[in-house]
């Protein structure tokens, strides 16, 4: 490791899904399976059901949908655009009218479904391994953490431990919150 010292104000933690999975959050595959398991019981505001048939049909056409709910959402958006007034004359969508109807209603339902799943996970046991992030709090400023995880596991744990942090997000992305020099530490045989 280089013998050069870096101030904790110059450190930004880039955290991936492992930080959340170790805290008990589901992987994207597990979350997708959980969503699929609940779809048969989920209703829209009009009491309509049958969203699982839409999921299964899309997963049969695009296998990635089965393990990645984000792909499912992408195809829902594509179907919505392709059947909208502006683009419907440009595309042919080979889904039944019933499935097209479900595709139009599901975006208004899916957010509550995912929210309920995360609500059930909110009482995860404390993950003390995240507490060591506090060792990197600069003397002035906040801990800098960048993660695109779908959950707030890291943010919530830091809050529970009294660690002030910034993720670069507020109401919108604010990269100026991370305006520092970036160094890449590599092992070059130095002690």
> Does the pLDDT of residue 181 top 50, yes or no?
no
Same-domain status, 12 and 52: no
- How many structural domains is the chain composed of? 2
pLDDT tens for 124-140 read 655 666 667 777 777 77
191 occurs within a structural domain: no
What integer pLDDT is reported at residue 67 of this predicted model?
94
Residues 34 and 21 in one domain: no
**Same domain for 136 and 111?**
no
Categorize the per-residue pLDDT at 178 as very low, low, confident or very high, splitting at 50, 70 and 90. low
Q: Are residues 32 and 91 in the same domain?
A: yes
Are both 169 and 131 inside the same structural domain?
yes
**Domain co-membership, 115 together with 157:** no
**Does residue 137 share a domain with residue 85?**
no
**Please, which pLDDT band fits residue 187 given cuts at 50, 70 and 90?**
very low
Coil, strand or helix: which one is 107?
A: helix
CA-to-CA dists, residue 90 to 84, 116, 125, 157, angstroms: 10, 37, 51, 48
Using the 3D structure, point to which of 77, 99, 120 is the last residue of a domain. Answer: 120
Structural domain that includes position 133: 8-25+126-178
Residue 33 has pLDDT above 90, yes or no: yes
Q: Identify the band that residue 190 occupies on the pLDDT scale cut at 50, 70 and 90.
A: very low
Tens digits of residue pLDDT in 46-72: 888 889 999 999 999 999 999 998 899
Among 90, 120, 150, where does a domain finish?
120
If pLDDT is split at 50, 70 and 90, which confidence band does 170 have?
Answer: low
């Amino acid at each position: 490791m280089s013998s050069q010292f870096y101030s904790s104000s110059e450190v930004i933690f880039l955290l991936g899904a492992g930080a959340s999975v170790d805290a008990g959050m589901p992987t994207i595959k597990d979350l997708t399976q959980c969503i699929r398991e609940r779809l048969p019981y989920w209703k829209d505001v009009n009491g309509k059901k049958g969203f699982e048939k839409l999921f299964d049909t899309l997963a049969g056409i695009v296998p990635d949908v089965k393990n990645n709910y984000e792909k499912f959402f992408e195809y829902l958006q594509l179907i919505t655009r392709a059947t909208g007034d502006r683009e419907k004359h440009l595309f042919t969508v080979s889904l039944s009218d019933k499935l097209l109807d479900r595709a139009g209603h599901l975006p208004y339902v899916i957010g509550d479904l995912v929210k309920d799943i995360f609500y059930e996970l909110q009482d995860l046991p404390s993950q003390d391994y995240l507490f060591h992030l506090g060792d990197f709090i600069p003397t002035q400023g906040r801990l800098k953490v960048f993660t695109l995880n779908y959950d707030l596991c890291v943010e919530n744990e830091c809050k529970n431990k009294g660690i002030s942090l910034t993720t670069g997000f507020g109401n919108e992305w604010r990269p100026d919150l991370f305006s520092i020099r970036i160094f890449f530490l590599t092992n070059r045989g130095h002690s």
